Amino acid sequence: MIAGRIAAVALMIAGAAAGATAAEPLPSGTSYLSEGLRTQQLDEAANPGMLWVGEGARLWELPQGPAGRSCTSCHGAAADAMRGVATRYPAVDAPSGDLLNLEGRINRCRTRHQEAEAFAYESDELLGLTAFVARQSLGMPVRVETGGAAAPHYDAGRAFFHRRQGQLNLSCAHCHVDNAGRPLRGDTISHGLANGYPAYRLEWQALGSLHRRLRSCSFGVRAVQHGYGSPQYLALELYLAARAEGVPVETPAIRR
Amino acid sequence: MPTRRQLITTALLAGGLAGLPGAGRSTPAMRDAAVDRLTGGAPVRDGRVVLSVPGVAENGLSVFTTVAVDSPMTAEDHVRAIHILSEQNPIAHLLTFHIGPRAGAARVSTNIRLAASQEVTALAEMSDGTFWRDRRLVVVTIAACIDGG
Amino acid sequence: MTLVAARVSLPSEARRGEVVEIKALIRHPMETGYRVDARGQRIPRHIIRRFEVAYDGEPVFAMDLTQGVAANPFVAFTTVATASGELVFTWEDDRGEVVTVTKTLTVTG
């Protein structure tokens, strides 16, 4: 009798511990696509985002800057060198203390190591290279660092996510936490994860960055649209990546 | 007369097909006229063609479309062409696939644009000069968050 | 945007007589000519008109396109593996730009 009660309590404790350490990852936006679009996303020969990935693969090998250095010159083959990298971004760049997403890291590499000009945000070049690098982490779970030097950025991103803004006076959480998985017009509200970006969005008829998507969100609630690569969106990107912990990278995902 | 809602919906689809005043829409009659031009007035029979489209398309800008035709695809008996037609887009005749015995199978896929919910027609032209078709209704929905680019 | 990237997928090897599936994607805006830009200016039509496939010089597939085809056109079709040889894929748009991709198919048996 007593032994049974102790066993039950032990089970409850074990259950609580498991819940705290291994929370179920949130569902990816892909789970809200029709079967047809999901099939298209998974088929490299049919996913139009792969056109940009192909461009990124070409740029990876292309000598740049006065020294004629390509990405390969330092990193070697992307399949090995970039495997898993996207799962850790955004991350703080140690020398500068800046929070960088993949786009920022690529441009930092260009200016710091290739002595080349940074690519414009949302240019086909930067989208292609970002998607190509992210593609090397396909299927690997997102796991970003939120402590240490990243902590203030994480806190800023979390605050942004939960702050009401815009003429509609909505926070990100009002849609993507409180109403995630529920229908909105002909759509389903996602959990606001970024594991598929850069993504091929049907409305854009092109590949686009997460920051382009975030600008759409800001527009949607009639709030201030922050700039591409702005500190506000970078911090938010970090918080979204933390929310996506354990969710596999799916770049280039197809989104509506 | 379109309702105000239809007009707004059309404008929202401006990313794709409609939007510019005067772009216009085709009608079922215009679709039928386009079919007549392709067949030269020959009769069109239902059957042998299977058009696969989603019943509900998430976005009219890209609708995955597959057409399969029941044919041995031999030199004597094959599909010459497969046409896809719309009754609501600005143009009725969206595309044509030209195939033949070297295809080995009459099965093709692409992504089409649909300006509105409508019936889509697949029309197959056989080597014996006969025409066969399949028709499917596609409901086109609009994503929740549209940013106009 | 100009025609910059195309992607063709097919098996590198097939048995003689086998029906192989080919999938082709090309980067193109397929601009309808109906849209207006932020300043109210009409964006001119810019579409791929024709896609052709030749297998050892023989035409085996073609497609006529209009603005009713989605941006970055995708097409899947089949061909019978007859002999080892080259497949040439050609897209041409309404500004006369042409993109060509060549693939080799090895036929066994």
Please name the helix (run of DSSP H) or strand (run of DSSP E) that holds residue B131, with its range, or none. strand B131-140
Structure confidence at residue C5 (pLDDT): 86
Question: Is the dihedral angle over the CA atoms A200, B112, C54, B67 positive or is it negative?
Answer: positive
Neighbours of chain C (3+ CB pairs under 8 A): A, B
Pick from B51, B63, B52: nearest CA to B88: B63
Residue C48 has pLDDT above 50, yes or no: yes
Strand pairing report for C74-80 and C85-93: unpaired
Neighbours of chain B (3+ CB pairs under 8 A): A, C
Yes or no: say if A191 and A246 are a contact pair by the CB < 8 Å rule: no
Whether the complex's predicted ipTM is more than 0.90 is answered with yes
Buried b (16+ CB within 10 A) or exposed e, A150-163: beebbebbbebbee
User: How many angstroms separate the CA atoms of A132 and A77, rounded?
Assistant: 12
Residues C73-102 have a mean pLDDT of 97
Q: Is A245 left (phi over 0), alpha (psi -120 to 50) or beta?
A: beta
Distance from CA of A43 to the nearest CA of C (A): 10
Chain C positions touching B99 (Cβ under 8 A) are 61, 77
The residue to which tokens 């409609």 are assigned: B18
User: How many angstroms separate the CA atoms of B19 and B1, rounded?
Assistant: 17
Pick from A172, A161, A177: nearest CA to A232: A161
Structure confidence at residue A22 (pLDDT): 58
Structure confidence at residue B3 (pLDDT): 45
User: How many angstroms separate the CA atoms of A132 and A252, rounded?
Assistant: 9
Residue C51 has pLDDT above 90, yes or no: yes
Neighbours of chain A (3+ CB pairs under 8 A): B, C
Cβ–Cβ contact B19 with A under 8 A: no
State whether B144 and A189 contact (CB < 8 Å). Answer: yes
Residue B44 has pLDDT above 50, yes or no: yes
Structure confidence at residue B5 (pLDDT): 44
Rounded to a whole number of angstroms, the CA Rg of chain A reads: 20
Fold of the domain built from segment(s) B22-140: Immunoglobulin-like (2.60.40)
User: How many angstroms separate the CA atoms of A143 and B85, rounded?
Assistant: 48
One-letter identity of residue C18: E
Cβ–Cβ contact C69 with B under 8 A: yes
Residue of C7, C21, C26, C99 to mutate, interface with A, max A Cβ within 10 Å: C7
Residue A256's CB is within 10 A of a number of other CB atoms, namely 25
Yes or no: say if A122 and A69 are a contact pair by the CB < 8 Å rule: no
Q: What percent of chain B has pLDDT over 70?
A: 81
A244 to A90, A153, A203, A250: CA distances (angstroms): 12, 16, 24, 12
Structure confidence at residue B19 (pLDDT): 43
Mean pLDDT for chain B? 86
Which comes out higher in pLDDT, residue B11 or C18?
C18
Cβ-based neighbours of A132, under 8 Å, separated by 6 or more: A52, A53, A55, A56, A57, A59, A60, A78
Residue A55's CB is within 10 A of a number of other CB atoms, namely 21
Q: Read off the pLDDT band of C109 (50, 70, 90).
A: confident
Residues B37-50 have a mean pLDDT of 96
User: How many angstroms separate the CA atoms of B59 and A256, rounded?
Assistant: 7
Q: What angle do CA A67, A229, A199 make, to 5 degrees?
A: 95
Contacts 24+ apart (CB under 8 A), B29-32: B30/B87, B30/B92, B31/B85, B31/B86, B31/B87, B31/B92, B31/B121
Yes or no: say if C51 and C6 are a contact pair by the CB < 8 Å rule: no
State whether C68 and B86 contact (CB < 8 Å). Answer: yes
User: How many angstroms separate the CA atoms of A113 and A59, rounded?
Assistant: 15
Which comes out higher in pLDDT, residue A18 or B142?
B142
Which comes out higher in pLDDT, residue A18 or B119?
B119
Q: Would you kindly state where each structural domain of chain B is located, as residue ranges? A: 22-140
- What is the per-residue pLDDT across B17-39, written as a single tens digit (0 to 9) for each? 444 444 678 889 999 999 999 99
Lowest mean pLDDT among A38-42, A158-162, B10-14, C100-104: B10-14
Q: What is the pTM of this model?
A: 0.90
Window A:190-249, CB contacts with C under 8 Å: 205-206
Mean pLDDT of successive 10-residue segments in chain A (256 residues)?
46 43 85 93 98 96 95 97 98 96 98 96 97 98 98 98 97 97 89 97 96 95 96 98 98 96
Query: Quick one: three-class SS letters along chain A?
Result: CHHHHHHHHHHHHHHHHHHHHCCCCCCCHHHHCCHHHHHHHHCCCCCCHHHHHHHHHHHHHCCECCCCECHHHHHCCHHHHCCCHHHHCCEECCCCCCEECHHHHHHHHHHHCCCCCCCCCCCHHHHHHHHHHHHCCECCECCCCCCHHHHHHHHHHHHHHHCCECCCCECHHHHHCCCCCCEECCEECCCCCCCCCCEEECCCCEEECHHHHHHHHHHHCCCCCCCCCCHHHHHHHHHHHHHCCCCEECCCCEEC
Structure confidence at residue A1 (pLDDT): 41
Yes or no: say if B99 and C59 are a contact pair by the CB < 8 Å rule: no
User: How many angstroms separate the CA atoms of C64 and C49, rounded?
Assistant: 6
Residues C26-51 have a mean pLDDT of 95
Structure confidence at residue A9 (pLDDT): 45
State whether B143 and A40 contact (CB < 8 Å). Answer: no
φ and ψ at residue A184, rounded to 5 degrees: -135, 115
C54 to A87, A102, C64, C69: CA distances (angstroms): 43, 41, 15, 22
Structure confidence at residue B148 (pLDDT): 57
Chain B positions touching A34 (Cβ under 8 A) are 54, 56, 58
- Nearest C-alpha in C relative to B115: C68
Structure confidence at residue B142 (pLDDT): 77
Which comes out higher in pLDDT, residue C5 or B87?
B87
Structure confidence at residue A247 (pLDDT): 98
Instruction: Please name the member of C27, C30, C76 whose beta carbon is closest to the beta carbon of A51.
Output: C27
Window B:96-125, CB contacts with A under 8 Å: none
